[in-house]
Each structure stands twice: as structure tokens, then as C-alpha cells.
Structure 1
Amino acid sequence: IVTAYALTYALIAPVVVPFTAAFRQTRIVIGTLTVFAIANMLCATTPSYAVLIAARIIAGIVAALYTSTAYSLAASLAPDTRKGAALSAVALGFTGSAVFGVPIGTAIGDILGWRMTFWLVTAVSTLSAIILCLRPPKEPVRHAAVVSIAARFAPLKDPTILLAMLPSVFWNTANLMSYTYLGALLARHHEPRTVVFLFLAYGCGGLAGSQLGGRLVDRFGAIKPLMAFLFVAALNQAAMGLSLQTTITTAVALAIWSVTGWGTFAPQQARLIALAPSNSPLLIAINHSIIYFGTAAGAAMGGALLAHGLPLERLHWVTAAMLAIAVGILGISAAGSGKGNLLRQKMAGRPS
């Protein structure tokens, strides 16, 4: 059922978003939350496995549409100097779900049964929809002309945008490849109770990173924070063999890993929005699909490398190399998008 949700989310996000471009984003957010609540209620009351899978697929569809719309709406509501902070506010929910939601849901499932976990999600989703209905965001009125479906997919033909997305493929696959096998790696070097503490350090780093990324965007733009996070992440992974020797150094390394990983979230979203503001929900949806596919590809790649004899302790070197490649591609992409902006300004008759 996890696969049904994640795969649906990854595949459907880029497809469904362009078809809702003509609707007000506030209505989409409220509508998707409502359907998400209904889908989880079906999961909680389902009489059969088939209905459970179908409900998870529905939940994956509306979650994909909600996420991309929520980021785009948050960015449109914030002033130019606070867009990064607005994106970080949305990202906090995703970080919090990884740090707190998963263990809370697991605990409820163990104590009260798995159906109660779905009832909790239903209740939270319903409450969120009600709050938004009572106090809807004051969404800016858009007067853009209605465009064709083909025009809504047009950014996917832009080499600048495609190149801007490519580094995300590398850094998400790299990070999630090592993270998939992190528990096994830590168990070889630390006691079980210590491993729990170390994962807590990783989770706290994620909370900090998701907020730090947005603040840095507001101050320095998107490219500099991305470069800094990826460069530090590559160095941190390269040094992981040494970091694992003590509990303190391992905790610091995991916190840095999480800060740099989640710190890329808001800058990458902000950069994609800036490249194509009118199609930002589509680009954000694709970026989320990349994250989900990165989870699958990273786990598969790591498993294949381990199966072919790569020692688990050396997997971090592959991650470091992929992060270094992401840094290089990002540099090329930033240079290309900068030249493209200058060219567009000259063609429009504006000073560069």
C-alpha cells in the first residue's frame, strides 16, 4: 500500500497539474484536502485489500495535486523578499511528517490497530480543510489568458528548465541511496539505543535545514544556497567513514547530512518558480516526482552495488561522487540560465 501511494504520486503529479491550471489554487487546496480525507476514511473502513489499494491510489493523486498547488500558492501570497520563507513554511510540514508523523502513526498502529492510523490522517485532513474554508487565503486575482493544454506542458521543452531539474535527480538519488541503508550501517558501529539517538539527530537536522534553506533564498537567491548545501553534503559524505568512529562525530555528520539535504528543498523550488512563474505548479510537481523516483532509484542502485560486492562502509563514496556531479551540473545550469536571462532582457529592450 505504500508503493501504491508513492508510485501514484510520482507518476500522476506532472500529468494532472496542468489540467487544473485554470482553477483558483485556493479551491484546489481545499478540494484536494477534502478528497484526501475521504480516501483515508475509506482506508480506515475498507472491507477488502482491493478497496484499500484503490483508496491509496486516490489519496496519491490528490496529494500530488495538493502539494504542487500549496507550494505555488504560498509563493504567490508572499512578497518577493519572503518567498523563500513561505516555501520553507510549507516544507516544514513534510519535514515534520518524516520526523514525527511516521513514529506517531506507527505507535498508534501498534497500540490501537492500523485502521486508527488512517482515522488520525482523516481527522487532521478534515480539520485542515475546515480551517481553510473558514479562513481562505487571499489569493491574488489572475487575469492571464486561458492557454491550451500543450502550452501548459511547454516548459518541459525548454532546455534551461530541464537542465535546472537534472541536479535534483542526482542529489536525491544519492542521498536516498545511502539513507536507505543507513540503519544497517549504523548498527555495525553503534548500539541499538544509540542508533535511535542518531536518527533523532538526523531528524532535527531536517527540521533546521528545511527552514534554513528558505531564509537563505530570501537573502542570497537560490543558486548560492544550493551550491553551498551540495558542496558541504559531498564533503560530509566523503568523510563519513571517519565520522562513524564515534557517537558524537556520527551525530554531527548525520545532522549535516539532513540539514544539507532538506536545505535544498526551498532553493530548488524557488529557482523553478523563477524560471517559469506561470507554470510553477507543474515544475514543482515534477520536482516532487523526482524525489519519489529518487527514493526508488537510490534504493535499487544501492542494493545492486551491495549485491555486486561493494562493502556497505564504502557506499558513501558513491553518494559523494554523485553529489559532486550534481554540483558540476548545477554550475553549468546556473551559467546557462544567467545567459538566457540576459538574452531575454536584451530582446525585450530592457537594460541588463
Structure 2
Amino acid sequence: MDPRLVTLCVGNFVIGTGAMIVTGMLNDIAGDFGLGAASAGQLISVFALATCIGAPLFATLGSRIDRRLLLAGSLLVYGVMHLAAAFAPSFAALMAIRFLTAIGAAIYTPQTAATLPLLVNAQTRGRAISFVFLGWSIASVVGVPLGTWISSTLGWRVSMALVGALALLVSAAVWRALPRGLIVPPAGREAWGAVLRHKPIMLVVLTTMISSAGMFTVFTYIAPLMRDVYGISGGALSLMFLAYGACGVFGNAMAASRMDRVTPSRIVQVTLLTSITAMVLWPLAGLGSVALVLLFMLWGVGGFATNSAQQARLVLLAPERASVSISLNSSSIYLGQAAGAMAGAAIYTLAGADTLHWGAAALMLVALAVSQRARALGCQWQRPQAAQRA
């Protein structure tokens, strides 16, 4: 395996761990500052909204910056801000720090995907994107459960500090691994206009936003849900995240191995159906811990493979606009997270934690319908484009 891709994958592992770790620590953070779960969950919303705004902004501002400097610098910012979070004196300060932390995530993940066409050939591009995005799945199977366990034993501040230290180390590794002179096409007004007028691309981006909202309607409040409804917390909750993440890695690996043989749009169809099935069957979790773990695992299989397939889908639709389209897609991921966290807070407050899955299922069904429309329109769109190139 190309060591450059491995290093970029590890970078996504750090970004993913830092982005998702708050979910597992939500009970501890809420308790430390004397807040309810719904209020503490807004940490996820503020991070998501900042990344949503930052991803397209930095795609434009950073398009002329050498990729090595841009990616290593984003991890450096991410590391420093996680270390600052470990010493946050108040919840308001922690909210502000998480907003600034999001700058690193807004740059790194989308611009890593946009850099890959400069490192690999067109035939292996889909597999490369899925492999590098595998770092997020590994974060869910290793980083988040470990962070949750550390939070429950040593405190959430220690977890934040460890993520910060790891980000600084990986920043140095990225600097050493990438060559100088990697520059993507400029992301100016023309590039943004071309993407915004490209209907299939915009429908793919909309699919990402809605499916992300569906996932985070439940995922944001999974710690209080497990505690309040099923009596699971601490080490047992870490094991639940481990099972979820392990299946996420499996699903992403399966998608990566088939990305260049089966169209990414079909992979998205399968992964969304898998997640919808898990949400619809969620009431069966009341049968016992075995049923709950199995549903958690089924949800994990589809959860992370969707995003990597969506990235590959955008590159396939317009490889020359990947820097812009992928940053817009990343923005939609985080906008969906913020919307899902807010929707989940409303459902949690008004109807109770045990009804969150119905809201998630409804959103994922809408995402599936939009995805199918994007697939049909993409086929129609690419025919005249291919004829023009011929």
C-alpha cells in the first residue's frame, strides 16, 4: 500500500476521533458543567456548523496552497485546539474552542479527498478514496470507544488531550510523507458555478446532508439513550461503540473493494437500505442485549460506507471539480450533523430518547429517494458530456 495513502488515512482517523469523541463523552461533559444531555449535545452542533461553513470557504482560499502545507497545517490547528479544550474553564469556552477546532476538520478531510487525483491514477481512484476515508471508520472502532473508556475512567479532559497530542504527531507525518508542489485546480467563481449548476452533483450533496442528519438524530444522543433506556454506560458503552465501529470498518472495506467494479451510487443504495433497516427494527432492541448489539452492528455496516461512496461518486461525476464538490459534500455532512443533533434534541425533549430512531428512519428514506433521483439524472447528464468529448 502506498505509504502516502496510509498516512492520509491515519490523518482521517485523528479527525474522525476528534469529531465523534464528544458523543461518547456527552454524559461526562454534561455532568462536569451541570447541564442536561440536550444542552451538552450542542457541542456537536457548533462543531458541525463551523465545519459546514469552513469546508467550502477553505476550499476556495486554500486551492492555491501546496497540499503538504495545507494538510499538515490543518492537523496542527486541530491538535492545538484539542489541547486547549482539555483546559476549558467553562462550557461557553469549550463551545468556542470546538468552533475553532472545526477549522482543522473543515480543511483536512475534503482536501485530502481532493488531493488523491494527484497521487493515484483514474483506475484506482475510487479504491483510494474509500481507503483514505477508512480512517473515519477506524476512528469509530478504536478512537471513539477508547476515548469513551478514558473519559469514564480518567476524565473527558484527558481524552481531549490525547487526541490533541496524536494530531500533532500525525501532522508531522503528513509533512514528511507528501511531496512538495501538489496543487489542485483553482477553486474560483467559475469552478463553484460549474458545480452549483451540475444537478446530479447537487443531488448527491443533498443526499449526503439528509443521510447525515438521519444518522446524527440518533448518534448524537446515543450515550444518554443507552444509559436512560437500556442502562448501559461506562465500559459497556465503550464495547457498544467498538461493535458499531468494527462493523463500520467492515462495511467500508467491503465498499472499497467493490468501488471500481460496482458503481458508487449502487453502494450508497445498499448502505442506506442497511441503515434504514436497523432504524426500523430498533424496537426489537427491547428483547435484550443481544438484539441491541446486533442492531448496533447492522447500523454500523451502513453508516460509514455511505460517505466514502459519496466522495467517489462526486469524483466520478466531475474529476476536474473534485476540490470544490468534495468540500461542498463535506460541508453537507456537517450541516446534516448539526440538523440531526437539533432534530434529535427536539425529539429527545418532546417524545423521549426511545423514539429517536423513527426520526432517523424517515430522514434516511428521504435520502434514499434523492440518491436514486441523482443516479437517474447522472446517467442522463453524462451521455451528452461523453458525446461532446468524443
Same fold (TM over 0.5): yes
Which structure 2 residues correspond to residues 136-285 of structure 1 after superposition, within 5 A? 136-137=178-179, 149-154=188-193, 155-187=195-227, 190-192=230-232, 197-285=239-327
Q: Supply the RMSD in Å over aligned alpha carbons.
A: 3.3
The alignment-based identity, stated in percent, is 26
Listed as ranges, the gaps of 5+ residues in structure 2 are 1-42
Which structure 2 residues correspond to residues 1-352 of structure 1 after superposition, within 5 A? 4-40=46-82, 56-105=98-147, 117-137=159-179, 149-154=188-193, 155-187=195-227, 190-192=230-232, 197-308=239-350, 310=351, 312-348=353-389, 350=390
CA contact (8 A) 2:56 2:328 kept: yes
Look up the equivalent residue of 1:252 and give its one-letter code: L
Deviation at 1:97? Answer: 2.9
* Distance in 1 between residues matched to 2:381 and 2:274, nearest whole Å: 28
Deviation at 1:177? Answer: 1.0
SS class of match (2:136): helix
Look up the equivalent residue of 2:135 and give its one-letter code: G
Q: Pick closer, same or farther for the CA change 1:23–1:335 going to 2, 3 Å.
A: same
SS class of match (2:108): helix
Q: Pick closer, same or farther for the CA change 1:275–1:195 going to 2, 3 Å.
A: same
Q: Pick closer, same or farther for the CA change 1:24–1:49 going to 2, 3 Å.
A: same
Deviations 1:118-174 (A, max 9, x none): 5433432332232233332587676x6x67x21132212322221121222221111
Q: Pick closer, same or farther for the CA change 1:183–1:278 going to 2, 3 Å.
A: same
CA contact (8 A) 2:348 2:355 kept: no
Look up the equivalent residue of 1:293 and give its one-letter code: L
SS class of match (1:70): helix
Q: Pick closer, same or farther for the CA change 1:158–1:240 going to 2, 3 Å.
A: same
SS class of match (1:264): helix
* Distance in 2 between residues matched to 1:123 and 1:136, nearest whole Å: 21
Q: Pick closer, same or farther for the CA change 1:224–1:76 going to 2, 3 Å.
A: farther
Q: Pick closer, same or farther for the CA change 1:34–1:225 going to 2, 3 Å.
A: same
* Distance in 2 between residues matched to 1:39 and 1:176, nearest whole Å: 23
Deviations 1:254-301 (A, max 9, x none): 111111111102110001122232232222222222222222212322
CA contact (8 A) 2:127 2:256 kept: yes
SS class of match (2:304): helix
SS class of match (1:236): helix
Q: Pick closer, same or farther for the CA change 1:34–1:239 going to 2, 3 Å.
A: closer
Listed as ranges, the gaps of 5+ residues in structure 1 are none
Bigger Rg over Cα: 1
CA contact (8 A) 2:151 2:158 kept: yes
TM-score by length of 1: 0.83
Deviation at 1:208? Answer: 1.8
Deviation at 1:102? Answer: 3.7
Q: Pick closer, same or farther for the CA change 1:218–1:314 going to 2, 3 Å.
A: same
CA contact (8 A) 1:84 1:213 kept: no
Q: Pick closer, same or farther for the CA change 1:163–1:110 going to 2, 3 Å.
A: closer
CA contact (8 A) 1:26 1:73 kept: no
Q: Pick closer, same or farther for the CA change 1:321–1:112 going to 2, 3 Å.
A: closer
Deviations 1:189-238 (A, max 9, x none): 64537655433321221222232222221221201111111123223322
Larger mean Cα displacement after TM superposition, 86-95 or 270-279: 86-95
* Distance in 1 between residues matched to 2:223 and 2:95, nearest whole Å: 28
Larger mean Cα displacement after TM superposition, 116-125 or 214-223: 116-125
Look up the equivalent residue of 2:244 and give its one-letter code: Y
Look up the equivalent residue of 2:64 and give its one-letter code: A
Deviation at 1:180? Answer: 3.2
